[in-house]
Structure 1
């Protein structure tokens, strides 16, 4: 019984039935109010006209009253002509109704009427006027017509209420069961997801209603969850692979040193090599933690950053390495580059990773070009090299954690540098992309668009 009361089908059916009853009551009440008001006004106007006509000619008042009472074969017309002392001279009203104002308007009052020689107490509508020579004329009508309207309305309401309740309940059950079927399909799909089938999706109809939009939003959320879980698995595999190599080397080195080292210098050499491999491992772990922190938006120390000055500092920093490799490192920056709102250290690290990546894959005699340009809508930082480039199929993959293109397998690194760049760009609301350069290498671009400083746009149209 408790489960039945909690059922959406029952609640919807009851809700629709009660709402239909409320609408029916409101409709019948409005019909009764309008009909009764119309009848009351028509009756009141008739009484006002008759009483004025009877009072207009005092000599014919009695005849007018008798004519009014006699013209109705159903004995619903009442009237009376009373002398100044209250004695009835004509009509079928015993006395002037108590509390009836003598102003010619119609009022609902209690009175004693004579019908078929018998005196009866009845509720009537009456209108009274005082005559010029003294005396009073009263013209009245019973309330049966108005009362019949009320009785008829209540009877119609009573007769129609039960069928209306039944039909409304059936309609509510039908609608609720249709909704319940959609919910059941959704529950079944979610149960599959909870059992680990992340490829399962909620059914989406063709109506485009609220249920379909909700299911589509949940499906997009499941797509993102599946994508993130895939990345977690790939990251876990990559971390295990990249940690195994230095740890295996470290273990082999330590075992060999323990068995073969014959001097303190040889032990020191083994320890130094082990420390180098440990530092490599710690650097990878630290990079993963930093990427996670930035993807969650934990870094908030933002201030205006001059990307032109930042690029010049990064070029100066890598200039010695470029000269050592016989690579030409060039800076091309617009004058008066507007500042962007960001973290200077993180922006420098992102640009440094791009430059370091370009130098790593540019052959001796090549060139790396760093550009900083701005427009009315954005500030753009680009790093372009003359290396071997990347296949177009890998442009969307290189920003993943631990992803390494086939041609970079033999170069030092752990596949986290470009992931760090992507995380820094995301933290700053910027975009990062890669495309083929004109001279065959790669062109990496960070686009800082429509960034606000101090509540104002940093650049105007």
Structure 2
């Protein structure tokens, strides 16, 4: 595909990653090679010049201690010495001059024409090809004379030239190695992306959302990306399953009210009664439709809370006044039924939560407690803070819940045997659990038939 369309190749992440890695590797190698060459060449220069400096110091010592003839004898003693040695008098006349035999390309006249290098400084001299082939240094004597030493640099330059050539030739395998390394790095870096693509293709092809990308624990950033992707899939799966469950519940539990609504309407149409009877039938239809609407809205709220799609307007709030408001609201109902409601909690009890939904939780629990507590019974609402959570308990002396039904009360639309006589949808406790779960909390219940029940919610600060 890339060969057919070069633009796609240039825009691909693999090509960019390989290119950047190759360039970076090559530039890094060049910097290292240049630094190494600089160090090596400096060392070679220093070593070659150090040898000359030591020799000229020895000759100067001989001249100062033993005189001109001793120096001349020492200079001409070793004809194989590869240094040019020259002693210039204080009048500019040449006292000693020894040129190695193998310096065929050296022009002696340039020694006379050119300025001498200053004391302990270096000067380059040219060969036949008019390029620098020799270097010279000078040392001033106390009597005004000047001692000069010169050496060939062609061997040193040839060595450095060979080193440069090796470095230049080494660029080819370096580029190849950098390119192969770039391919390897790009493959490792983009492998999680390929896995994500394969997983998405699998989901699209099979319509199954239970597929997950494996986490290999090889790179923190990649593992985090894959974990977030898997978490997203889990949330999507939970949303879809929640929608499926809602539709199943709606399809199952709406049959009875819809049948009752249809039956009432058909009877009204077939009846030849007066307007009051028809008006009553219409009233029953409206009441049943209102019940259906409440059921649908509650089912949607439960589904949103359970799947994490519920929008929470969380704020730091004092839950104590909220409990008091709910108790005051339901106090009239409890008073009419002859049920006593008692509270016990501090005046300040702060947590971060959605005020309206927490009010709904408290209202549902208190409403259930009043419903299933007989006349003369008692309801206690307590709240406190423990470590990093707020605990709210609603305890009653009602009919209680059997152990067989205790784990079923959180199911949607479930109504126990003792609740059949009470009006309701069977969604109150499901909504309580879902809302508390959406706040990263949890609910516990304990109950004994004939003694009462206690619902405790735990909400993080």
Structure 1 match to 2:38: 33
* CA distance in 2: counterparts of 1:7 and 1:69, whole angstroms: 74
Q: Report how far residue 38 of structure 1 moved.
A: 1.7
Indicate conservation of the 8 Å contact 1:52/1:104, yes or no.
no
SS of the residue corresponding to residue 213 of structure 2 reads coil
Structure 1 match to 2:318: 305
Structure 2 match to 1:187: 197
Tell me which of 82, 85, 95 is aligned to 1:89.
95
Tell me which of 316, 322, 330 is aligned to 1:318.
330
Structure 2 match to 1:266: 277
Cα separation, partners in 2 of 1:173 and 1:348, compared to 1, 3 Å = closer
With 403-412 and 230-239 compared, the bigger mean Cα shift is at 403-412
Q: Report how far residue 156 of structure 1 moved.
A: 2.2
Structure 1 match to 2:369: 358
Residues 84-233 of structure 1 aligned to structure 2 (within 5 Å): 84-91=90-97, 92=99, 94=109, 95=111, 98=114, 101-105=117-121, 107=122, 109-112=123-126, 122-173=132-183, 176=186, 184-195=194-205, 196-205=207-216, 211-212=222-223, 214-233=225-244
Indicate conservation of the 8 Å contact 2:125/2:135, yes or no.
no
Indicate conservation of the 8 Å contact 1:368/1:383, yes or no.
yes
Q: Any idea what the Cα deviations from partners look like across 1:223-281, whole Å, max 9, x if unmatched?
A: 22212210011123334445554444333322322321522211221222222123223
Indicate conservation of the 8 Å contact 1:62/1:89, yes or no.
no
Find out whether 1:79 has 2:92 as its counterpart: no
SS of the residue corresponding to residue 268 of structure 2 reads helix
Find out whether 1:47 has 2:52 as its counterpart: yes
* CA distance in 1: counterparts of 2:388 and 2:191, whole angstroms: 50
Cα separation, partners in 2 of 1:37 and 1:268, compared to 1, 3 Å = same
Structure 2 match to 1:453: none
Cα separation, partners in 2 of 1:365 and 1:125, compared to 1, 3 Å = farther
* CA distance in 2: counterparts of 1:185 and 1:430, whole angstroms: 32
Indicate conservation of the 8 Å contact 2:409/2:416, yes or no.
no
Structure 1 match to 2:445: 435
* CA distance in 1: counterparts of 2:418 and 2:115, whole angstroms: 110
TM-score by length of 2: 0.76
TM-score by length of 1: 0.76
Structure 2 match to 1:457: none
* CA distance in 2: counterparts of 1:433 and 1:97, whole angstroms: 106
SS of the residue corresponding to residue 446 of structure 1 reads strand
* CA distance in 1: counterparts of 2:255 and 2:348, whole angstroms: 46
Indicate conservation of the 8 Å contact 2:126/2:134, yes or no.
no
Structure 1 match to 2:102: none
* CA distance in 2: counterparts of 1:82 and 1:89, whole angstroms: 6
Q: How many residues align?
A: 437
* CA distance in 2: counterparts of 1:265 and 1:392, whole angstroms: 46
Indicate conservation of the 8 Å contact 1:379/1:448, yes or no.
yes
Find out whether 1:413 has 2:424 as its counterpart: yes
C-alpha RMSD of matched pairs (Å): 4.1
Cα separation, partners in 2 of 1:122 and 1:192, compared to 1, 3 Å = closer
Cα separation, partners in 2 of 1:96 and 1:367, compared to 1, 3 Å = farther
